[in-house]
Amino acid sequence: MYELVCSLTRGSEHIKHDIPCEDHGQIFEAESCKIFAVADGHGDTNCPRSQLGSKFACEIAISEMKVFSTDIIENSWEKRVISPGKDQDSLIRQLITSIVAKWITAVNEELELNPLSEEEKSGCKRYIDRYDRGERLEHIYGTTLIAGLLTESYLLLIQQGDGRCVVFNADGSTSQPIPWDEDCFANVTTSLCDQDVIQKFRYHVIDLSKNPVIACLMGSDGVEDSFFTMELMDSFYRDLLVYASENGVAGLNKHLDEELPEFSRQGSGDDVTICGIVDIDKVKEFISTFQRDNEIIRKESALKEINDRLKSINAMGKLDALKSDYEKAAETVRKSEEDYSKAVEKYDSYTSDFQQFNQDEAEGSEIAKVFARILDVILSGKRAETLKNKITELKIEVEQAKQNLDLSRENLVPVEEEYHDFLEKKIVYEKKKETIEVQLAELRDSEQ
């Protein structure tokens, strides 16, 4: 038995900047059908009433889908809806045309009752001239729309603009059956207020007798924009289904109401709306599969992040450059140590010889006298004074060599730390990568 999911939250960035919630989500349940709709009003000051546009879009989509469902049953047109072809396209285009026409009527009536205030006009710089001429007034209420109609025999999905609709198939796999609109990219989206909206509207019909589904969840772009990949978004939806299987759909709705504000804060910062259908009994058959698949996705995502970090570490020879800087600094220290050692050795040698000379001269030994005569020749009679001066010079050289050694050691410290920290990060990432690769291999083996 299918149950309806519906939850929305005002985005953290909207709260921060005092912007109203521009998303809307709505569900409807009758004996013959279930309907769910998500609309995302444009975050553009030229569309100052997009929060009303999204609300009208969901209300009208549900109202028109109810009528559509009843008409199909009363006229026994189920096969025409299910079977691809001109009849299917004609019926669904009529539904889309009706939704768009009534939405345009609703927003124009609202504007007639409540003309734009001066404050609203001040933000409409790009379109204010058109608005003043009574042109493109629907743009004031611009919004996207995704809606689903579930009956006993088919699931009809329609969409204009961005957002994603994820279907969980009978085998537990996921798909996005509504054709994607290439005009939706980055912050650009098609809209209910576009002049070619009826032609641009996409749809897909699933024959439940041939392709049963266990769940269908649709979300505004605040969901999609919170993830780097579609696989991670699918993983998020699988987590929701696991939660529903353990706590019921009512529990899931409560859980979403509580958690979506934080989800927005940590993710896109945008308004977030999730609506859809879930068959708990069928979902329960895939809990272990979903959990394993999600673990694989998380491991793959972690592995990608590690590979990106390793690539960054190796990029542009950064690690090699740090290694080269470290080796140069270490070589400077080695050379400074060598120079200092030589200076000390030379100083000690001269000092020792001078001390010995003084001792021998005092004792009047023949050796001292011979040495004195040699010094007289070499130093021209100033042997003692010159020797002292030489020792003084050598002492200064020792002190300078010591200063150079201390400075080189001081300079080595940050270079060595940066190099070893970087090298340690690389080693840690490589170990993590190895561990994750082993875990992934084990998880994938468990699929077989």
Residue 131 CB-half CA count within 13 A: 24
If you average pLDDT over each of 270-274, 331-335, 409-413, which comes out highest?
A: 270-274
- Read off the pLDDT band of 448 (50, 70, 90): low
Comparing CA positions, the residue from 447, 448, 176 lying closest to residue 294 is 447
User: How far is residue 88 from each of residues 83, 236, 243, measured CA to CA in Å?
Assistant: 6, 33, 36
Residue 89 DSSP SS3 = helix
Q: Are 58 and 8 in contact (CB under 8 A)?
A: no
Tally of CB atoms within 10 A around 294? 19
Spatial distance between the Cα atoms of 278 and 237, rounded to a whole number of angstroms? 11
Share of the chain above pLDDT 90, in %: 65
Spatial distance between the Cα atoms of 14 and 375, rounded to a whole number of angstroms? 93
Q: Phi first, then psi: what are they for 177, rounded to 5°?
A: -70, -20
What's the mean pLDDT in 281-287? 96
Spatial distance between the Cα atoms of 232 and 398, rounded to a whole number of angstroms? 65
pLDDT digits (tens, 9 = 90+) for 70-107: 999 999 999 999 999 999 999 999 999 999 999 999 99
Q: Are 436 and 303 in contact (CB under 8 A)?
A: yes
First to last CA, the chain: 30
Comparing CA positions, the residue from 38, 61, 42, 51 lying closest to residue 274 is 38
Q: Which residues contact 207 (CB under 8 A, 6 or more apart)?
A: 82, 153, 154
pLDDT at 378 over 70: no
Spatial distance between the Cα atoms of 335 and 408, rounded to a whole number of angstroms? 9
What's the mean pLDDT in 408-425? 86
pLDDT at 380 over 50: no
What is the average pLDDT value for the chain, to the nearest integer? Answer: 90
Q: Give the residue, 60 or 387, on which the prediction is more confident.
A: 60
What's the mean pLDDT in 421-430? 85
pLDDT digits (tens, 9 = 90+) for 205-255: 999 999 999 999 999 999 999 998 899 999 999 999 999 999 999 999 999
pLDDT at 3 over 90: yes
Spatial distance between the Cα atoms of 260 and 69, rounded to a whole number of angstroms? 32
Where helices occur in 201-229 by DSSP H, the ranges are: 221-224
pLDDT digits (tens, 9 = 90+) for 136-195: 999 999 999 999 999 999 999 999 999 999 999 999 999 999 999 888 887 889 999 999
- Read off the pLDDT band of 381 (50, 70, 90): very low
Tally of CB atoms within 10 A around 105? 12
Spatial distance between the Cα atoms of 377 and 334, rounded to a whole number of angstroms? 39
pLDDT digits (tens, 9 = 90+) for 36-54: 999 999 999 999 999 999 9
pLDDT digits (tens, 9 = 90+) for 302-341: 888 888 888 887 776 777 888 888 889 899 989 988 988 8
pLDDT at 423 over 90: no
pLDDT at 416 over 80: yes
